[in-house]
Amino acid sequence: MSVETVSTSAETETTGAADAAAPALRGVHTLSMAKAITAGLREAMRNDPKVLLMGEDIGRLGGVFRVTEGLLDEFGEQRVLDTPLAESGIVGTAIGLAMRGYRPVVEIQFDGFIFPAFDQITSQLSRLTLRHDGTLSMPVVIRVPYGGHIGSIEHHQESPEAYFAHTPGLRVVAPSSPHDAYWMIQEAIASNDPVLFFEPKSRYWGKGPVDHDHSGLPLHSSRVIRKGDDVTVVGHGAMVATLLQAADIAAEEGRSLEVVDLRSLSPIDYGPILDSVQRTGRLVVAQEAYGFVSVGSEIAATVAERAFYSLEAPVLRVSSFDTPFPPAALETEYLPSADRVLEAVDRSMAY
């Protein structure tokens, strides 16, 4: 396992293929999100021989985004399985493996390719535990690289998370930082329920500190990551970086935004959101996904129900437009930007 020196001598980035004899990482290291997920998968596989990986090109190639790079060499072909290009078959096989006591982790190569497996996920995987009156666990993790900002084409830059958050029996999470990605993938694998693990592919190469000794939060917890007084802004995945950028710009203009990272989309941890709104009196919810019947819609409705008398302005939503994802040249116009978030903040402050 090679080590790349970075600006802080106490922090390192793990790169390249895995070494079977390499020790588990301890302490704080600087990792990209992609390598943090790799490290989390490796840790889960070392700790439980029933954890195995499945997906298209995840073995020798290491996946399109190289997230599984090196794991085949370390764990072998019986635990890192290259599959046919058949998403429904991949998930169906994972369901069968889970029935036999395994903990399969499925990679969907791109977000838009999840739809051939939609029936298996929503009609079978989500229902089997209830169908068996709780006696059958379904510890299946489905990794989904999702979202825009990579200059790709239709079916490669989708945000389909609301379909699955809407489906009872599924857990849905989305990390925004390498630290959360490292811990959340392990916690998802340890869950006895099926978990849709949405990875913001535009953040794969962004680096940050990962504490390999302390996770910080349970899997389904939201978190205030920047304190503020004027407006609460909420988002998940790649949108969190956009919200932090908006908060920096707002601070230069004399406004204070409190940023909440959702982390989990089903279930949603409303505690930090409601506590924040009760102080600021204003809420803007932002997402890359379409706005109609979305996670943002659910949060807006719930906050309006549970914190109505704390609100000094309507809850506002910022999202992509309700159209199919456009050609790559138009993605910057389509996806929410810091400017669009700040425009909503201005409208909220105007009430």
Q: CATH 3.40.50.920 residue ranges in the chain?
A: 223-349
Q: For 286-335, how does the pLDDT look when each residue is reduced to its tens digit (9 = 90+)?
A: 999 999 999 999 999 999 999 999 999 999 999 999 988 888 888 889 89
Active site residue 156: yes
- Is pTM, for the whole model, over 0.95? no
Strands 103-107 and 141-146: parallel
Output phi, psi for 121, to 5 deg. Answer: -75, -45
Ordered DSSP codes for 268-320: ---HHHHHHHHHH--EEEEEEEESTTSHHHHHHHHHHHHSGGG-SS--EEEEE
Alpha-helical (H) ranges within 3-101 are: 33-47, 71-75, 87-99
Indicate the angle between helix axes 271-280 and 295-306, nearest 10 degrees: 60
The pLDDT of residue 8: 34
Contact 237, 203 (CB under 8 A): yes
Q: For 159-201, how does the pLDDT look when each residue is reduced to its tens digit (9 = 90+)?
A: 999 999 999 999 999 999 999 999 999 999 999 999 999 999 9
Contact 108, 145 (CB under 8 A): yes
Strand partners, 171: 195
CA–CA separation, 82 and 73 (whole Å):
13
The number of CA neighbours under 13 Å toward the Cβ of 282 is 21
CATH architecture designation of domain 223-349: 3-Layer(aba) Sandwich (3.40)
**Which of 20-34, 146-160, 335-349 holds the top average pLDDT?**
335-349
CA–CA separation, 204 and 217 (whole Å):
21
Q: CATH 3.40.50.970 residue ranges in the chain?
A: 10-211
Query: What is the CATH class of 10-211?
Result: alpha beta
CA–CA separation, 152 and 270 (whole Å):
34
Whether pLDDT at 6 is above 80: no
Other C-beta atoms closer than 10 Å to the C-beta of 225 total 17
DSSP label at 282? -
Catalytic option among 156, 212, 220, 236: 156
